[in-house]
Chain A
């Protein structure tokens, strides 16, 4: 073994990266991951298109052209993606659907990150009665049928778009809490946690500084999986008439409509699906890249 003091200072300085702390190191490593960077660029383009696209598209999302029902893509008249079965422009609707789907996906994932990680880490680390009560709460929410929950919300509050966020957020953090709790349970037996306690670090600081950073790998992978899950769940709600309302739309709604007409009007399925698939690909690459970047052992 080379003992520490035997290492010349110059060599040690060359070995030591300039970065400090988990996040700046992670950012440096992420920049070296070409797939993740490319995926981030593509995802950013999709997001920008979804945000500004509907405003600059040649046609409005709710303009109905009776003479162009189920028209194929045509650059001459500005229907770049063709029209759908009610004669509305599919290009504008696809981009607008991206707004709804991405916003829902991101919002629900943020909820699952904040509540799920916090809930799971506290339950797993503190353990005992606190853990039992917190995890039984998760079990009860889990056992509650999702549709029943959504219908209840609709009955009490009317059909508000905000409620979809609430409903999706309320279910999306449950799995995350369980995953993080499992991680926290195994982490809290590790010696470095005992070392932190012996060093005088309080419970809150241990959870924030040791438990949560060490859970990040599975958390990030699961978060990237939550986004598509939520997008698909929303399309299911919309299909039942409980989701977004016409003339608003989402990728899930467009794909469901397009799938029914794929034999006569392929573009109604292909374009929204392509956007959803591209988004999911990008999220997976970014998730992989983040997981690797956040693991110091994986240089």
Chain B
């Protein structure tokens, strides 16, 4: 079997925090022991509560922040062994879309310059006319009028800015786009347009998407597989349909139950078991299974032993007791 587009093994990202003048240096582990594979043209959704390391994972995959441990392989080649310039050349195939569409665009650059930036980085000798034509093509591709290339980001709405961001990511026709909460800052109606745009681009160009979001409905709509993170660890990874139909990990179940159903009759009849408490601080993660402090089916052993990620067909789940809670 050929190597997958992206293979991540045991990825760990820690941020050193200095403990003041005399305090010892502590490490905040944002992502711990995360492994997954992403095939070409596939969408992997990454979900979890705020602060569970979703965005950190996305940035670490692109090597925008350094990983503390683990391996990120691109078509079988370990990105960790590349030096800065070799990594820069790799970036041609991997792009990113950010959460805040306006903040991700330089306020002093025109739309044309923003979209052309990756071209300037990778094809510095490209003739101007050719570059302009490519930029206009890409703007059309994301549903923007090419006449807008001389305007500035602040003249656009959030949805249009996100389209500009997508155009910048698409202009090199990459193989992977990391979407870091691409629709969280947008209105519901615009969210659907942007998600459908991403799906269309994926179908047309066979792009793999790492789709990070806390919005389960959106993730369900766009993803082939979904990975659930809790405090930087994978708790469940499964094909979308299976995950939503029969969630195994108690945390996944709690997340899915928390999604409101847009039908008041059904919604009222549903059994609500709200997830109690707050996400524990990643600085002092609970012992054993990190979720045991909030888990409905936790038992004494859960506080002691960290559950391994068990593989069952296409699914992986990090809870040895999931059968007990299945209703």
Contact = CB atoms under 8 A, between A and B. Distances in A.
Verify that A and B bind, or say they do not: yes
Interface of A: 1-5, 7, 9, 12-13, 15-22, 190-192, 194-202, 205, 209-210, 213-214, 216, 294-297
Range, interface on chain B: 35 or more
Interface in B144-172: 144-145, 147-152, 154, 157-160, 163, 165, 168
B117 A1 contact: no
A17 B112 CA distance: 13
Interface of B: 59, 62, 64, 88-89, 91-92, 94-96, 98-100, 103-110, 112-113, 117-118, 120-122, 143-145, 147-152, 154, 157-160, 163, 165, 168, 187, 190, 193
A214 to B, nearest CB: 6
A12 B147 CA distance: 6
A16 B150 contact: yes
A53 B323 CA distance: 96
Contacts, number: 117
Contacts of A12: 145, 147-148
Contact of B98 (A15, A17, A194, A210): A194
Contacts of B95: 198-199
Contact of B121 (A192, A199, A294): A199
A191 B104 contact: yes
A3 B106 contact: no
Nearest to B115: A199
A210 B160 CA distance: 21
A202 B159 CA distance: 28
Most buried by B among A1, A21, A199, A201: A199
B201 to A, nearest CB: 15
B150 A19 contact: yes
Most buried by A among B100, B148, B149, B193: B148
Contacts of A194: 59, 64, 96, 98, 104
B154 A296 contact: yes
Given A213-B108, A296-B152, A195 B165 contact: yes
